Amino acid sequence: MLHGCLSPLSRSLRRSCSLSTRAFSITQQACQHQENSYQLGNEDDSTSRKEMSRRDYRFIFPEFLPDPNPEWRNAVRERLERKDMLERREKIEIPEFYVGSYLAVTAFDKNSPHPNKMSRFVGICIDRGGTGLRAWFILRNSIEGQGVEFMYHMYNPTVLKIEVLRLEQRLDEELYYLRDAPLEYSSVPFDMEPEILPEGSTVPVNTKVVPLNPRPWTQNWERFQDLLSGYSLHNPFPTPGKIRKQMRWMAEGNDGWQLQTLKFDLMRDYRNTVPAEEQAQIWEEVADKLEARDKQMRRVATKRAFI
């Protein structure tokens, strides 16, 4: 089960070493570092600091990094795909967001009852993935007491607008356990106004721990309590049978035991990440355009604010 294929939960383990990121505008961040270096008069520092800040783009724009599988990698194709992504970003703002943020997506829907053929969905982002033009994210909300999820592709030209209503992170990289939690934890009001963070603040981490509903569950949440810290279980092993099942699953050589060894598997981490040197090349290629676009959008936003 775990050989080769990367299950979503094991993917979270790989990303658990990520740092929290900043809600800076990326241009401001780059400028700040440049200013500091100008005051210090040390040019070497500026390049290294700029590189370090660009290294953080792997959290803001994770879809620009290619799939690390060497069988599918090709420099020409990746370069062409990144060019298409930048062209699309010129037409629509694809904001920085993380799993746990509240988003509102307006998309073209030919079956929509509205005359403008648009549909707007608001929800909490429970997962994001995909590389390149296939980058996707899933929004979850509750509508009239029914949990609803929508998957959107970020570079799909029918997606007209992506707004971040609340920018925050959670304790985990995936929130699929919200499907087995009370609906109030997945509810986002449709008329919610965007909450703007003060300039230069870090992205807040919401340390909410979600209590799950009693069984039955969609997944065996009692098994992943070490990997995911955003949910709590009341009485995970209610019967002796459940305890024995858990012990069997955790016995040496079985799936649970393998899951515990994942965090020590450096080669697995190496295989599933793009080397830092290649990442630096990618950011060198795209970061200028991304920063310019970010600056342009900030200018537009401030103009609107004055109106």
Residues that bind other proteins (CB under 8 A): 71-74, 76-77, 80-81, 84, 87-88, 90-92, 108, 110, 116-118, 132-134, 153, 156-160
The least distance separating other proteins from the CB of residue 295, rounded to whole angstroms, comes to: 20
User: Strand 231-232 to strand 210-211: parallel, antiparallel, or no bridges (unpaired)?
Assistant: parallel
Shortest CA distance to 150 belongs to which of 164, 138, 134, 135?
138
How many angstroms from the chain centroid is the CA of residue 26?
Answer: 17
Residue 62 and residue 136: Cα distance in Å, rounded? 11
Provide the strand spans (E) within the chain: 102-108, 118-129, 136-143, 146-153, 159-166, 210-211, 231-232
The least distance separating other proteins from the CB of residue 81, rounded to whole angstroms, comes to: 6
User: Residue 87 or residue 288: which is nearer to other proteins going by CB?
Assistant: 87
User: Residue 31 or residue 159: which is nearer to other proteins going by CB?
Assistant: 159
Burial of 272 per CB tally in 10 Å (0-12, 13-18, 19+): middle
User: Residue 92 or residue 197: which is nearer to other proteins going by CB?
Assistant: 92
User: Residue 88 or residue 263: which is nearer to other proteins going by CB?
Assistant: 88
User: Residue 115 or residue 240: which is nearer to other proteins going by CB?
Assistant: 115
Residue 228 and residue 247: Cα distance in Å, rounded? 19
> What sign does the CA torsion over 67, 253, 242, 210 have?
negative
What are the angstrom distances between the C-alpha of 29 and each of 34, 61, 197, 205, 208?
Answer: 9, 15, 15, 20, 29
The least distance separating other proteins from the CB of residue 111, rounded to whole angstroms, comes to: 11
User: Residue 83 or residue 248: which is nearer to other proteins going by CB?
Assistant: 83
The least distance separating other proteins from the CB of residue 7, rounded to whole angstroms, comes to: 23
The least distance separating other proteins from the CB of residue 198, rounded to whole angstroms, comes to: 31
The least distance separating other proteins from the CB of residue 120, rounded to whole angstroms, comes to: 13
CA dihedral 74, 76, 78, 84 (to 10 degrees): -160
